[in-house]
A and B are shown apart, each in its own frame.
Chain A
Amino acid sequence: MLIHFHVNGKACAVDAAPDEKLLDTLREKLQITSVKRGCENGDCGACTVLLDGRPVASCIFLTVKARNHSIQTIEAFGEPGHLHPLQEKFRAHGAFQCGFCAPGVTLSAISLLNQNPTPTEEEVRRAISGNLCRCSGYVQIVEAIMDYVEERRAAREEL
């Protein structure tokens, strides 16, 4: 059936199978391959996208259910040469090694920061708890996010 939705701000229409997963629609039909195919079980978070601003696992989300909603992938926030300031922090902290989890972790963190600009470290850890990283042990990821939070807090206080 024909599904209308917004992807990264643009109106899209795709012809989706009745049991098609949002992951497959984004990767195979819209060629957005930053949405990673990981466990396909909802366990690893590599396929995370934002649905109306909130993270969902696109591997266990029916494309049909996304109709009339707004989807954001990492491309909505940063592109090579124009990184999101949080992505710059990840780079500065050496947060990622293989990078497979990076789009999902970044989207989970951005969603948290949009709702709560001054999270505690515990809140950050819980917000990215659905994103597995098998390289880093999370320490640098959390440090990078907290660094970004602190920098923005300082910038706000200067105003």
Chain B
Amino acid sequence: MRVKECFCPSSQEQALALLAELGDALQICAGGTDLLVMLRKGKTEAPFLMDISGLDLSGIREEEDHISIGALATLTDVQESPLLNKEPYRFLQRAAGWVGSPQIRNAATLAGNLCTGIPSADTSTPLLALDARVRLASVRRTREIPLTGFFLAPRKTALEADEMVTEVLLPRFPSGDYRTEFRKVGTRKELFISIFHIASLLEMEGPLVKRARFAMGVMAPVPVRLFRTEELLTGKSLTPALIDEALETMKTEVHPRTSRHASKEYRMMLAENLLHRFLTEPPEGAEGGNLC
């Protein structure tokens, strides 16, 4: 269908009024890097576009009990933010820094990466591990939901037809001994759609795991947190026997499937090997690298 009009509201009130009026017929464009591909391929039918770049939603700010990432903050903004260049947020910077290419990261937004609702959205796993929340606005109300409740099915999120994401909120963490890791796997080193991605956040207290958070992408219809594996490790020492048990528990929490990009057996092997690596080896440098 031809796009009839592109609205360019200059305030959130105007944007929400348009959303309330047009609902699903209105497609929000933040960076547009996913949307324009979908439009070209005829995979989205909305007759109206709304460019939200005129809204006051950019910037990454430290607030009393959280860090707020505005819906217009690009992946480059996330990658370069001094507020996020510290633990336990560095794996989010790393994930943002491996989405697409520099050209894509300069336009694409963090919120948009989530709103695609695709299991390969790289930033979803560190955000899940951080217990991120998403702030949604409509003319009816403003609400906050945990990211764990945001992904419903591939390309389907909890966003209602008249709602838009205005902020992604990261809780602040007490100082501690954190190590965070992110890895994505694909067919080459750069600019690929992940066939698997994993984020791991560990807080250690001496030899004991004080806090463990893991999330995996492309291992189920939506990115998932591994709550049972986390619970198993919490308060314990990472012995080889416990790590083996954790890997077995992890396998019960994911349901990979075979696609043209990778087999479910291969994805499961990646999940096991990388989780094992994160639990046994010292953290790698900030850049690391992708696996292919």
A residues near B, CB below 8 A?
1, 17-19, 21, 40-43, 45, 48, 51, 54-57, 59-62, 64-65, 67, 108, 122, 126-127, 129-131
Chain B neighbourhood of A129, CB < 8 A: 101-102, 189-191
Decide yes or no: A62 and B33 within 8 Å by CB, A42-B100, A55-B102, A130-B101 being known contacts. no
From residue 20 to 46 of chain B, which have CB atoms closer than 8 A to chain A? 29, 32-33, 36-37, 39-40
B interface bracket (residues with beta carbon within 8 Å of A): 20 to 34
Can you sample 6 A-B contacts with CB below 8 Å?
A42-B33, A42-B104, A43-B191, A57-B101, A126-B102, A130-B101
* A55 to B101 CA separation, bound complex (whole angstroms): 10
B5 within 8 A of A: yes
Is there an interface contact between B37 and A56, defined as CB atoms closer than 8 Å?
A: no
B106 within 8 A of A: yes
Decide yes or no: A64 and B190 within 8 Å by CB, A42-B104, A45-B101 being known contacts. no
Is there an interface contact between A62 and B191, defined as CB atoms closer than 8 Å?
A: no
* A127 to B150 CA separation, bound complex (whole angstroms): 33
Is there an interface contact between A130 and B37, defined as CB atoms closer than 8 Å?
A: no
Is there an interface contact between B107 and A56, defined as CB atoms closer than 8 Å?
A: yes
Chain A neighbourhood of B51, CB < 8 A: 62, 64-65
Is there an interface contact between B29 and A42, defined as CB atoms closer than 8 Å?
A: no
Closest chain B residue to A125, Cβ basis: B190
12 additional A-B residue pairs with CB within 8 Å, beyond A1-B6, A18-B3, A60-B36: A19-B36, A42-B101, A43-B101, A45-B101, A48-B103, A54-B102, A61-B36, A64-B49, A126-B190, A127-B102, A129-B102, A130-B191
Encode contact with A along B1-20: 1 for CB under 8 Å, 0 otherwise: 01111101000000000000
Give the Cβ gap from A15 to chain B, nearest Cβ, in Å: 13
* A60 to B51 CA separation, bound complex (whole angstroms): 14
B53 within 8 A of A: yes
Q: Across the A-B interface, give the 6 residue pairs with the lowest CB-CB distance, nearest first.
A: A130-B101, A18-B6, A19-B3, A129-B190, A60-B36, A57-B103
Give the Cβ gap from B136 to chain A, nearest Cβ, in Å: 23
Chain B neighbourhood of A130, CB < 8 A: 100-104, 190-191
Is there an interface contact between B6 and A41, defined as CB atoms closer than 8 Å?
A: no
* A41 to B5 CA separation, bound complex (whole angstroms): 22
Chain B neighbourhood of A60, CB < 8 A: 32-33, 36-37, 104, 107
Closest chain B residue to A23, Cβ basis: B36
Give the Cβ gap from B251 to chain A, nearest Cβ, in Å: 34
* A17 to B6 CA separation, bound complex (whole angstroms): 8
Give the Cβ gap from B103 to chain A, nearest Cβ, in Å: 4
B76 within 8 A of A: yes
* A19, A67, A108 — most chain B CB neighbours (10 Å): A19
Decide yes or no: A54 and B106 within 8 Å by CB, A18-B3, A45-B101 being known contacts. yes
Chain B neighbourhood of A54, CB < 8 A: 76, 102, 106
Is there an interface contact between A67 and B8, defined as CB atoms closer than 8 Å?
A: yes
Encode contact with A along B184-196: 1 for CB under 8 Å, 0 otherwise: 0000011100000
* A19 to B3 CA separation, bound complex (whole angstroms): 6
Give the Cβ gap from A3 to chain B, nearest Cβ, in Å: 10
Chain B neighbourhood of A19, CB < 8 A: 2-3, 6, 36, 39, 49
Is there an interface contact between B29 and A62, defined as CB atoms closer than 8 Å?
A: yes
Give the Cβ gap from A52 to chain B, nearest Cβ, in Å: 9
Contact of A64 among B4, B6, B100, B101 (CB under 8 A): B6
